[in-house]
Amino acid sequence: MKIDARSKVCEVCNYEFPDHNRGLKWAAFLLAVLLLLLYLWW
């Protein structure tokens, strides 16, 4: 069964898909870069 990728709720089981927070993605990316730089620096 196909479900629309843009839907917020599953039509089959009524599961509410979580919203993706852009700020959280950027924070995780910057933290990964910082840890990589610290690893390379030591």
pLDDT digit string, tens, across residues 5-28:
888 899 889 999 888 788 999 999
Domain of 35 in residue numbering reads as: 1-42
Distance CA 26, CA 11 (A): 31
The phi, psi pair for 13, rounded to 5°, reads: -115, 0
pLDDT of residue 5: 82
Angle, alpha carbons 17-5-32 (nearest 5°): 65
Residue 35 pLDDT more than 90? yes
DSSP three-state, residue 16: strand
| pLDDT for 33 | 97
pLDDT at 1 over 80: no
What pLDDT score was predicted for residue 31? 98
Q: Into how many domains does the chain fold?
A: 1
Q: Provide the residue type at 18 as one letter.
A: P
From first CA to last CA, the distance across the chain in angstroms is 51
Tell if the pTM clears 0.75, that is, is over it: no
pLDDT value, residue 38: 96
